Copies of this chain bind each other. A is one copy, B any other.
Amino acid sequence: MSTTPNPGHMLLGMQFGNGFGAQPHAWRAPGVSPDALTDVDAQVRHAQTAERGLFDFLFLPDFLHLQQDLDHEPPTITLEPLLTLAAVARATERIGLVTTASTSYNDAYTLARQFKTLDVMSRGRAGWNAVPSSGEATAANYGRPALGRTEKYERLHEMVQVMQGLWGSWEEDAFIGDQAAGCYADAAKVQPIGMQGRHVGSHGPLPIPPSAQGQPVIFQAGGGGNGLQVAGRYANGVIGAVFSIEDARAQRAALRQAAADAGRDPDEIKFFAGVMPALGDTVRDAVDRRLALGKDVLPQRVGYLGMMLGLSLGPEHLDRPLSPDQLAVTRPHPGDPRSERALAVARDGWTVREVLAHGVIDYHPTPVGPAEVTADHMQEWFEAGAADGFWVSIDVYENGIDEFVDQVVPELQRRGLYKTEYAGSTLRENLGVPHQYGLDPRLG
């Protein structure tokens, strides 16, 4: 077995949220238990299905305040991501376990210890999406004022560096374990790091030896100039929010340039484009699936769709296609990159409600129809150099992950675009990113 992925194969991560799925009304879908938020066994089952599909990693978004309208929707996040992944780790073998954790509201020692524990427990499958936190709601949950912009980004850099320093505080060959001689470790190789920045410091060492991949992989959201710089310096994985091949290629190129600017090989950063497939035996079936799933949500979006199309749309327009008069004056709003596709779908003659059911206002592009449609989308983007892989948001986890694994994955494999077994056993191996232990010596 090789331990590096075939460069002709796309990588895949899966959004792993609240136990229900990526669509707000997933919790009401047929066959879904309303208790899935609190049912870790269901989450383990979903993770195992993703692993059956050879997904390279699960990716858990996280937020530090409750932002849903609980009358109508569950929280979008898992109860707590690190403990959830600790439970998932023992029930899986190969799939990577990546979660967001805030660089603004954690202590480096605690967070470094928790991520490294996950990495050791999972035998080298942990990843950390290092993101700063903004906003008054989160700050209020921590009983202190929100960080200013400068401090927020300084703290992000310092957290990554101090945590990587702590992760490297046992030299890789420090553990000995010679029972006869009574020699547990070479204590001279377990040393304080004594790092102290403006906002974050830790003396160390951690009480934890290296994992099977040395230390967790860093992910980053990568938005904006600061985010790009952070990703360029530290990240091996970046999740993008992109709606066109051109935009994705530009973001990927900027990231690769940022890596080069930091003295790294651009191939060390893998860029993942989001995709939210709407699967069905036919396009009609797929649209019907989303109509059912979005029954109460889609109508609320009609006004926004109108804005995207340069029309005034209201509930009275929902169940008919745009008229020739409307189509004659419509123009895609330049402020929303999803507008072009919304217009294209509308021109195909779908009703306004059906246009919305195509996911034209969703967080990621939504291919609609049989597995081939999603595979076509992914192939086109991948072959255009728009992404190294995809971050797949499944609308309803229950059955939905199985459908993706049983329909889209084999189609990608038939096309020679996807692996038929894991390349390795650690997340680094499966992503094809280089070994790193402690701080990156190239960053000075």
Contacts and interface: CB of A to CB of B under 8 A. Distances in A.
A43 to B, nearest CB: 9
A114 interface: yes
Given A72-B182, A89-B87, A200-B143, A66 B207 contact: yes
A73 B28 CA distance: 53
A117 interface: yes
B120 A79 contact: yes
Contacts of A44: 90
B80 A83 contact: no
A71 to B, nearest CB: 4
Contacts of A304: none
Contacts of A206: 66
Interface in A78-110: 79-80, 82-84, 86-87, 89-91, 105-110
A185 to B, nearest CB: 4
A177 B114 contact: no
Contacts of A180: 28
A38 B174 CA distance: 14
B190 A66 contact: yes
Nearest to A20: B184
B141 A202 contact: yes
A79 B25 CA distance: 38
Of A114, A121, A140, A209, chain B has the most CB atoms within 10 Å of the CB of A121
Interface string A52-90: 000000000000111001111111010110111011011
A391 interface: no
Contacts of A303: none
Interface residues of A, number: 75
Contacts of A86: 82-84, 86-87
Contacts of A137: 203
Contact of A209 (B37, B143, B187): B37
A207 B114 contact: no
Query: Which of A41, A84, A110, A116 has the most chain B CB atoms closer than 10 A to its own CB?
Result: A110
A27 B179 contact: yes
Contact of A25 (B25, B75, B182, B186): B182
Contacts of A207: 66, 75, 77, 79
Interface centre among A34, A66, A143, A204 (most CB of B within 10 A): A143
A205 B137 CA distance: 11
A186 B83 contact: no
Interface string A176-205: 011110111111001000001000111111
A91 to B, nearest CB: 7
A72 B37 CA distance: 45
Contact of A107 (B73, B80, B105): B105
Contacts of A25: 182
A111 to B, nearest CB: 9
Interface string A1-26: 00000000000000000000000010
A334 to B, nearest CB: 35
B117 A79 contact: yes
A118 interface: yes
Nearest to A197: B143
B90 A187 contact: no
Nearest to A170: B70
A45 to B, nearest CB: 12
B141 A87 contact: no
B143 A183 contact: no
A267 interface: no
A201 B72 contact: no
A35 interface: yes
5 contacts: A83-B86, A84-B121, A86-B87, A105-B107, A140-B203
Ranked 9 nearest A-B pairs via Cβ: A143-B201, A34-B177, A140-B203, A80-B117, A86-B86, A83-B86, A79-B117, A75-B207, A70-B185
